[in-house]
Amino acid sequence: MEQKRKLGFWSIVLLTINSIIGTGIFLSPGGVAKQSGALAPFIYVCAAVFAIMLALTFASASKYTRESGAAYAYVRTAFGDNTGLYVGITRFVSASIAWGVMATGAVGTAFQILGYQSDAITFGMRTIGFIVLMVVLFIINVLGTKIFEWVSNLSTIGKCVALVFAILAGIVIAVKTGNHMGEITALVNDAGEKVVPPMTTAGFVTALVAAFYAFTGFESVASGAGDMEKPEKNLPRAIPVAIGIVAAIYFGIILTAMLIDPVAMVTSSSVVVLADVFKSTVIRNVIVIGAFVSMFGINVASSFHTPRLLEAMALRKQVPDVFAKRNSKDIPVNAFIITVLFAIVIPMAFSYDMKGIMIISTIARFVQFVLVPVAVIMFFYGKTKNPTLEGAKKNFATDVVVSVISLILTALLLFKFDWKGSFSTTAETGTSLNMFAIVAMLIGYVIIPVLVYFYAKAHTDKKIAQ
């Protein structure tokens, strides 16, 4: 029998980088700069520390189990099957939708890079591009882990090369032209008001939280632990290494951009904001291509993580067994198909109104950031509903101290999150409830979990009766 190919340590590192670096660093670094001015590069360093604290809790949790599913597996082990199921199914729904959102963004941005204005991209054009992208991702996955690993690694290297090239070019330009970072402080709008306000504690926290979201994605990497070599050993090492690499790249690109032309970064209305910092056509083209590769890469990563979460629940008999079946290339093809349907149908049903459905992904992330640190503390003290992996090396500093710090940081995220903006819309007639967001929340957090719970309960009762 042919031995199953699994992702090695460096492939896990690259997959983690691919899961983190998306469109944000290319398209919207100006938002953080507008809030923090010349301190923007250091805001990203602080955000990296913030992310590493949370990532360490997920890395610590991964050493206590070899199961796939990431937060689902950790919460199920700590709190029991029902709590694990709720986290698993809400994560699956939100991750599927988030994948659809990222795919929609990739298609829309691709059209804009090709010269189409946003209002010229019709529903039909967007849908065709959307489906074509999903078909390509399906083909990449069903061909097997070897092909997926190659495409994932290549897309990760591609986006990193584009960013590193921009950093090196930026350093050369900064040496020749001097430091322009101070120009952002003097920038004013048409009303004569400063675009970048003086830094305050509240402003620092707001900028930090905004920069932190550029580091999210690490929490999904362990969803495919079953397809990784020694995940209980490799994941705890790979995740922090990947975030360190991402932090170095983010710091470098933001610093060089601020040195060269911080005003362009803050005021640009281009699709790929980062490209506007550079005047050279060659550098601009490299960055634009890098942005497209980055968008494609993060979709590749999502196509790996999300179906395996559904498969993990199927292996525990909490959803139909059909989603646990793999093809001849050892890919959970049925789980992939249903995931793609979620990713395609829900964004289409909402007419690609992303604000209405992104809230599901955000809330699911908060749930993970609260429950996983608590689960790790429970693992350390042996107070779990289900058994953990024997021989796991406990560490008070990473398992308890870091988990407590992570809970504090998550409380900060919850406090600074724009709850009002997420559940309301503003128009000329005033502010009203965002019905898209409310309906999405009801579907993702009530209706689907209830249906899945009754399925799992019926399956358990039937097994007991036999």
Report pLDDT for 130.
Answer: 82
pTM of the model: 0.81
CATH for 9-347+359-416 is: 1.20.1740.10
Strand, coil or helix: what is 61?
Answer: helix
DSSP 177-215: H---TTHHHH-B-TTS-BSSPPP-HHHHHHHHHHHHGGG
Domain coordinates in residue numbering, the chain = 9-347+359-416
Report pLDDT for 2.
Answer: 45
Report pLDDT for 217.
Answer: 83
Report pLDDT for 359.
Answer: 67
Please state the length of the chain: 466
Q: What are 9-29's pLDDT values in tens digits?
A: 998 998 899 888 876 677 667
Low-confidence residues of the chain, pLDDT below 50? Answer: 1-2
Is the separation of the CB atoms in 256 and 174 below 8 Å?
yes
Report pLDDT for 223.
Answer: 80
Using alpha carbons, list the distances in angstroms from residue 354 to 69, 208, 346, 388.
26, 24, 10, 39
Torsion of CA 21, 23, 26, 29, to 10 degrees: -90
